C-alpha cells in the first residue's frame, strides 16, 4: 500500500481528524507566536542596537528554557490528569495569555507571557502525543506520526506568509482602525495566534474517545538522553559523521533564526520582510528535499551530505556580507535548500545504514541534541551580536555597515563550512575520485563514474528487463539472426555463465537462501559479473565478436539498487570496479509491466521472482530511468507487443550499429549453457 493512501486512511478516523485539525491550527499559532514575539521584542527596543539584539535573544531563551528545565516534570504531571481536560484548559490559558500581550505591550510582559505559554505547552504536547495512539489503530500509527510531522513543519511557511500579511495589516490598519492605533504592528498576528488556540480549545472540547489516562507518558530528562545516547552512538564512525554534520547544520540554522530579526531591521525591512525571510528558509528546505535531491541523484549521498552543508556555510557568509534585502531573500532560499538536502540525507542514511539496534537511539539522540544545540546557539548569538554592536567602516566615499548580526552569521557560516568538510572527510566513500568530476557527472545524470569508454573491436549488446519480459527469447532470436548474417556471435547471460558463476547463481537464486543480506547479494552478482567480463565478454570483444548478454550491470542497479534500496551510487561503483568500466554499446530494454511479466513465468518462483509486486515495480521504474538518462545507448521496446514486432524493432536498431561482417572463427558457448528460462 502506498504512503499517501495510508495517510488518507488515518484521517478517515473522525476523532483523529479532529485532533489533527486542532494540532494543525495550533502549529500555525505556534509559528506565528515565535515570529510575532521576536518581532515585537525588537520593535519595543528600537533605537539601541545592543538592546534590540538582547531583547530578541531573550524571547528565544524564554521560549526554550521551560522545556529544557521542566520538561520531565511536566510529563509526570501530565500522566496524572485527564488528557482532554488538560489540553482544553491549556488551550484556554494560551488563548488568554497571548491575547494579553499586545494589550499590555511591554517587553517584560512579553518575556513573562512567553515563559507562561511555554509552561502550558509542556502539558499540552505530552497529553497530545499520548492521545494519538488512543485514536488510531496500531498499524496506522506511523502514518499518523508522519502527518503530525507534516503539519508541524509544513505550517511554518504558511505562518511566515500569514505573518507578513498580518504585519502589513498592522502597519496600515492603525490609521483606519482606531483600536489598533496604540498597538504594535505585530498585534493582528498575535490576535490571530490567540484565536488559533481558542479554536483548538473548542475542537478538543468536543472530542470524544480520549480515555482518561493509561500508561506513563513522561519522557526522561533531555540531558540524560544526550549523555546516554552518545554512549551508544558515539562509537560508530558513520553515525559520528552524520551527527556532527546535522548538528552543525542546526547550529548554523540557529544563528540565522536568532539574528534574522535585527538583521532585517538593519537592512531597512520591517516585520513583513522578517516574515518573508523566515518563510524563505522553509520554502528552500522543501525545494531542496524534493527537487535538489532528484537533480543530484547520481552523486554519492554521503558526499552530497557534506557538500550541502559546506555550501550552506558559504551561502550564509554571503548572506552576512551582502546588504541587500531581495538578494538576502534569494540566498536564504538557497540556504534552506542546502539544509533540506542535508537533513533528508542524514535521516535517510540513518534509516538505511545504521543497524536496527542503534537506529532508535540515534534518532532520539539527534532530537535531544538538536534542541540543546539550538538553545545554546540562540542564547549565544544575540548577546554576541549585542556585544559586538553596530559598526560602520569607511571605504573611500562608501560606508560599509558591519554589525553584530553580520558577525554571528559569518561565524555560523564558517562553522558550517568546517563541519561540512569534516563530514565529507569522515564519510567519503569515493576517495581518489575528484569531487568536481563527480558533481559534473551527477548534474548530467550519469550513474557510471566518468571513465573514458573502452574501445574494443567487437560489439557489445545487453538485454535488460523485468521477470518474464521476454528478453531471453528475444536475445536468442537476435543471436540466431546475426549468425545467419555471418557474424561471430557469443550469446551469454548473467548470472551463471562461468564455472564460478554457476555456483554463485545457485546461491543467488536458491529460494531457500532467504537469509542473504542485500549487500552480499549485490556483491555476489558483481562477483559473477567480474568473472563473466574477464573470462567471457572481454576476450570475445577483443576477438572482434558480437557479444549479446542476457542481463548486465543495469540489472544490479535495478534489482539491488532500486529493488533492495541500496545506495545506487554504491551499486554503480562496485559494478564499475567489477567490470573495469566496460559499458555496452547498446542496451535493449524490454519494458514490461510486472503484472504482465510475472504471470508469464512457469515453474516454482526463485528468490527474486517471489518478491512482492512493489519490488518489481521499483525495478521497472529504475530500468526506465537508466534508459531515459542515456537515450543514445538504449533501445526501449514495449514488452506487451507481439514477439515478432519486438524482434523487428530490435533488428532495426542493431542494424544501425553493426560493423562490417566479420569472419566466423570461434565457437559460441551457448551449447554449454544450462536451459534458460525468462
Annotated binding site: 465-472
The reply to whether 495 sits near ligand TYD by the rule CB under 6 A is: yes
* Contacts of ligand TYD in 299-328 (CB under 6 A): none
Distance CA 609, CA 601 (A): 9
Q: Which is nearer to ligand TYD, 30 or 622 (CB)?
A: 622
Element housing 493 (H / E): strand 489-493
Which listed residue (88, 163, 388, 559) binds ligand TYD by CB under 6 A?
A: 559
The reply to whether 525 sits near ligand TYD by the rule CB under 6 A is: yes
Distance CA 353, CA 238 (A): 9
* Residue 643: CB minimum distance to ligand TYD, A: 15
* Residue 536: CB minimum distance to ligand TYD, A: 14
Which listed residue (131, 332, 556, 579) binds ligand TYD by CB under 6 A?
A: 556
Q: Which is nearer to ligand TYD, 84 or 529 (CB)?
A: 529
Q: Which is nearer to ligand TYD, 243 or 540 (CB)?
A: 540
Specify the 3-state DSSP secondary structure of 523: helix
The reply to whether 509 sits near ligand TYD by the rule CB under 6 A is: yes
The reply to whether 616 sits near ligand TYD by the rule CB under 6 A is: no
* Per-position x/- string for 562-591, each x denoting binding to ligand TYD as judged by CB under 6 A, each - no binding: ------------------------------
Element housing 394 (H / E): strand 390-395
Written as nine digits, the cell of 233 is 552512538
Q: Which is nearer to ligand TYD, 353 or 550 (CB)?
A: 550
Stretch that binds ligand TYD, among 109-117, 311-319, 548-556, 586-594 (CB under 6 A): 548-556
* Residue 584: CB minimum distance to ligand TYD, A: 13
The reply to whether 70 sits near ligand TYD by the rule CB under 6 A is: no
Distance CA 256, CA 319 (A): 10
Backbone φ, ψ for residue 215 (5° rounding): 70, 160
Q: Which is nearer to ligand TYD, 333 or 637 (CB)?
A: 637
Ramachandran quadrant class, 360 (left: phi over 0; alpha: psi -120 to 50; beta: rest)? alpha
Place of cell 475542537: 203
The reply to whether 677 sits near ligand TYD by the rule CB under 6 A is: yes
Ramachandran quadrant class, 598 (left: phi over 0; alpha: psi -120 to 50; beta: rest)? alpha
* Per-position x/- string for 125-164, each x denoting binding to ligand TYD as judged by CB under 6 A, each - no binding: ----------------------------------------
* Residue 571: CB minimum distance to ligand TYD, A: 9
Distance CA 381, CA 250 (A): 13
CA 462 to chain centre: 34
Distance CA 546, CA 456 (A): 11
* Residue 568: CB minimum distance to ligand TYD, A: 13
Closest to 95 (Cα-Cα) out of 140, 33, 37, 153:
33
The reply to whether 531 sits near ligand TYD by the rule CB under 6 A is: no
Q: Which residue is nearest to ligand TYD (CB)?
A: 559
Stretch that binds ligand TYD, among 27-35, 293-301, 550-558, 588-596 (CB under 6 A): 550-558
List of residues 6+ apart from 391 with CB closer than 8 A = 401, 402, 403
Distance CA 26, CA 48 (A): 34
The reply to whether 494 sits near ligand TYD by the rule CB under 6 A is: yes
List of residues 6+ apart from 563 with CB closer than 8 A = 608, 611, 615, 616, 618, 619, 622
Distance CA 580, CA 262 (A): 57
Q: Which is nearer to ligand TYD, 209 or 581 (CB)?
A: 581
Distance CA 537, CA 526 (A): 14
Q: What angle do CA 592, 597, 599 make, to 5 degrees?
A: 155
Q: Which is nearer to ligand TYD, 464 or 488 (CB)?
A: 464
CA 69 to chain centre: 31
* Residue 678: CB minimum distance to ligand TYD, A: 4
Distance CA 405, CA 386 (A): 8
Q: Which is nearer to ligand TYD, 263 or 525 (CB)?
A: 525
List, as one string, the DSSP characters of 105-161.
Answer: --HHHHHHHHHHHHHHHHHHHHHHHHHHHHHS-GGGHHHHHHHHHHHHHHHHHHHHH
Stretch that binds ligand TYD, among 118-126, 380-388, 554-562, 644-652 (CB under 6 A): 554-562
* Residue 560: CB minimum distance to ligand TYD, A: 6
Stretch that binds ligand TYD, among 7-15, 148-156, 293-301, 552-560 (CB under 6 A): 552-560
Which listed residue (555, 572, 579, 587) binds ligand TYD by CB under 6 A?
A: 555
Q: Which is nearer to ligand TYD, 438 or 494 (CB)?
A: 494
Q: What share of the chain is helix, strand, coil (3-state, %, to 5)?
A: 70, 5, 25
Stretch that binds ligand TYD, among 160-168, 225-233, 287-295, 549-557 (CB under 6 A): 549-557
Q: Which is nearer to ligand TYD, 131 or 472 (CB)?
A: 472
Q: Which is nearer to ligand TYD, 94 or 505 (CB)?
A: 505
Q: Which is nearer to ligand TYD, 648 or 677 (CB)?
A: 677
* Residue 609: CB minimum distance to ligand TYD, A: 6
Stretch that binds ligand TYD, among 409-417, 555-563, 634-642, 651-659 (CB under 6 A): 555-563
Specify the 3-state DSSP secondary structure of 305: helix
Backbone φ, ψ for residue 375 (5° rounding): -60, -50
CA distance between the termini of the chain: 28
* Residue 574: CB minimum distance to ligand TYD, A: 11
* Residue 586: CB minimum distance to ligand TYD, A: 17
Q: Say if CB 167 and CB 186 are below 8 A apart.
A: yes
The reply to whether 622 sits near ligand TYD by the rule CB under 6 A is: no
Other CB atoms within 10 Å distance of the CB of residue 385: 29
Q: Which is nearer to ligand TYD, 314 or 507 (CB)?
A: 507
By CB under 6 A, the count of residues binding ligand TYD is 16
Which listed residue (551, 616, 618, 620) binds ligand TYD by CB under 6 A?
A: 551
Specify the 3-state DSSP secondary structure of 54: helix
Closest to 381 (Cα-Cα) out of 57, 146, 15:
57
The reply to whether 403 sits near ligand TYD by the rule CB under 6 A is: no
Distance CA 496, CA 532 (A): 8
* Per-position x/- string for 459-488, each x denoting binding to ligand TYD as judged by CB under 6 A, each - no binding: --------x----x----------------
Q: Say if CB 335 and CB 308 are below 8 A apart.
A: no
Stretch that binds ligand TYD, among 422-430, 436-444, 553-561, 657-665 (CB under 6 A): 553-561
Q: Which is nearer to ligand TYD, 422 or 527 (CB)?
A: 527
Q: Which is nearer to ligand TYD, 163 or 525 (CB)?
A: 525
Annotated binding site for ATP: 465-472
Which listed residue (162, 342, 598, 608) binds ligand TYD by CB under 6 A?
A: 608
Pairing relationship of beta strands 459-465 and 546-550 according to DSSP bridges = parallel
Specify the 3-state DSSP secondary structure of 546: strand
Interacting residues with ligand TYD (CB under 6 A): 467, 472, 494-495, 509, 525, 550-551, 555-556, 559-560, 608-609, 677-678
Amino acid at each position: 500500500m502506498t504512503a499517501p493512501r495510508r495517510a488518507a486512511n488515518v484521517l478517515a478516523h473522525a476523532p483523529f481528524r479532529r485532533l489533527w485539525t486542532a494540532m494543525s491550527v495550533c502549529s500555525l499559532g505556534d509559528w506565528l507566536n515565535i515570529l510575532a514575539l521576536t518581532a515585537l521584542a525588537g520593535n519595543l527596543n528600537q533605537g539601541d542596537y545592543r538592546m534590540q539584539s538582547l531583547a530578541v535573544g531573550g524571547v528565544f531563551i524564554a521560549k526554550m528554557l521551560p522545556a529544557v528545565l521542566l520538561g520531565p516534570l511536566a510529563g509526570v504531571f501530565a500522566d496524572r490528569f485527564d488528557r482532554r481536560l488538560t489540553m482544553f484548559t491549556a488551550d484556554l490559558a494560551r488563548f488568554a495569555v497571548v491575547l494579553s500581550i499586545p494589550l499590555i505591550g511591554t517587553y517584560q510582559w512579553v518575556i513573562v507571557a512567553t515563559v507562561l505559554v511555554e509552561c502550558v505547552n509542556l502539558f499540552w504536547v505530552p497529553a497530545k502525543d499520548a492521545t494519538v495512539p488512543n485514536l488510531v489503530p496500531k498499524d496506522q500509527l506511523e502514518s499518523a506520526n508522519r502527518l503530525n510531522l507534516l503539519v508541524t513543519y509544513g505550517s511554518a511557511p504558511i505562518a511566515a506568509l500569514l505573518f507578513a500579511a498580518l504585519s502589513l495589516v498592522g502597519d496600515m490598519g492603525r490609521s483606519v482602525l482606531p483600536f489598533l492605533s496604540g498597538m504594535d504592528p505585530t498585534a493582528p498576528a498575535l490576535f490571530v495566534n490567540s484565536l488559533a488556540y481558542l479554536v483548538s480549545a473548542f475542537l478538543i472540547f468536543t472530542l470524544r474517545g480520549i480515555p482518561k489516562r493509561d500508561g506513563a507518558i513522561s519522557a526522561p530528562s533531555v540531558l540524560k538522553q544526550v549523555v546516554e545516547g552518545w554512549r551508544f552512538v558515539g562509537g560508530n564512525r558513520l553515525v559520528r559523521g552524520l551527527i556532527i554534520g546535522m548538528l552543525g547544520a542546526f547550529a548554523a540554522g540557529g544563528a540565522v533564526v536568532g539574528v534574522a530579526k535585527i538583521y532585517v531591521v538593519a537592512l531597512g525591512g520591517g516585520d513583513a520582510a522578517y516574515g518573508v525571510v523566515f518563510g524563505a528558509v522553509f520554502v528552500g528546505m522543501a525545494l531542496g528535499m524534493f527537487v535538489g535531491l532528484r537533480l543530484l541523484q547520481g552523486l554519492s549521498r554521503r558526499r552530497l551530505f557534506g557538500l550541502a552543508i559546506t555550501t550552506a556555510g558559504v551561502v550564509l557568509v554571503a548572506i552576512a556580507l551582502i546588504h541587500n534585502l531581495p538578494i538576502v531573500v534569494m540566498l536564504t532560499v538557497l540556504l534552506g535548500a542546502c539544509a533540506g538536502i542535508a537533513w533528508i540525507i542524514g535521516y535517510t542514511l540513518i534509516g538505511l545504514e545504521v543497524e536496527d539496534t542503534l537506529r532508535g537511539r540515534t534518532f532520539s539522540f539527534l532530537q535531544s541534541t538538536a534542541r540543546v544545540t539550538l538553545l545554546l546557539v540562540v542564547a549565544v548569538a544575540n548577546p554576541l551580536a549585542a556585544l559586538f554592536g553596530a559598526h560602520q567602516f569607511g571605504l573611500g566615499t562608501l560606508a560599509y555597515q558591519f554589525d553584530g548580526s553580520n558577525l554571528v552569521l559569518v561565524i555560523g557560516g564558517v562553522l558550517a563550512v568546517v563541519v561540512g568538510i569534516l563530514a565529507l572527510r569522515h564519510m567519503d566513500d569515493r576517495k581518489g575520485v575528484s569531487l568536481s568530476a563527480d558533481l559534473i557527472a551527477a548534474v548530467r545524470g550519469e550513474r557510471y563514474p566518468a571513465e573514458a569508454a573502452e574501445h574494443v573491436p567487437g560489439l557489445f549488446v545487453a538485454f535488460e528487463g523485468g521477470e518474464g519480459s521476454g528478453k531471453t527469447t528475444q536475445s536468442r532470436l537476435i543471436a540466431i539472426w546475426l549468425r545467419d548474417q555471418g557474424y561471430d556471435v557469443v550469446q551469454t547471460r548473467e548470472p551463471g555463465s562461468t564455472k564460478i558463476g554457476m555456483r554463485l547463481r545457485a546461491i543467488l537464486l536458491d529460494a531457500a537462501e532467504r537469509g542473504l543480506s542485500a549487500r552480499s547479494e549485490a556483491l555476489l552478482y558483481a562477483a559473477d559479473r567480474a568473472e563473466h567480463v574477464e573470462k567471457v565478454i572481454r576476450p570475445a570483444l577483443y576477438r572482434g565478436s558480437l557479444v549479446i548478454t542476457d542481463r548486465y550491470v543495469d540489472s544490479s542497479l535495478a534489482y539491488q539498487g532500486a529493488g533492495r534500496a541500496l545506495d545506487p551510487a554504491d551499486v554503480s561503483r562496485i559494478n564499475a570496479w567489477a567490470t573495469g568500466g566496460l559499458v555496452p554499446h547498446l542496451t535493449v530494454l524490454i519494458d514490461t509491466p510486472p503484472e504482465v511479466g510475472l504471470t508469464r513465468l512457469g515453474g516454482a518462483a526463485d528468490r527474486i521472482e517471489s518478491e512482492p509486486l512493489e519490488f518489481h515495480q521499483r525495478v521497472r521504474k529504475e530500468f526506465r530511468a537508466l534508459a531515459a538518462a542515456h537515450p543514445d545507448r538504449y533501445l526501449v521496446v514495449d514488452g506487451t507487443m507481439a514477439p515478432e514486432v519486438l524482434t523487428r524493432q530490435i533488428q532495426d536498431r542493431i542494424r544501425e550499429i553493426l560493423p562490417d561482417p566479420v569472419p566466423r572463427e570461434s565457437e559460441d558457448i551457448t551449447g554449454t549453457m544450462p536451459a534458460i528460462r525468462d
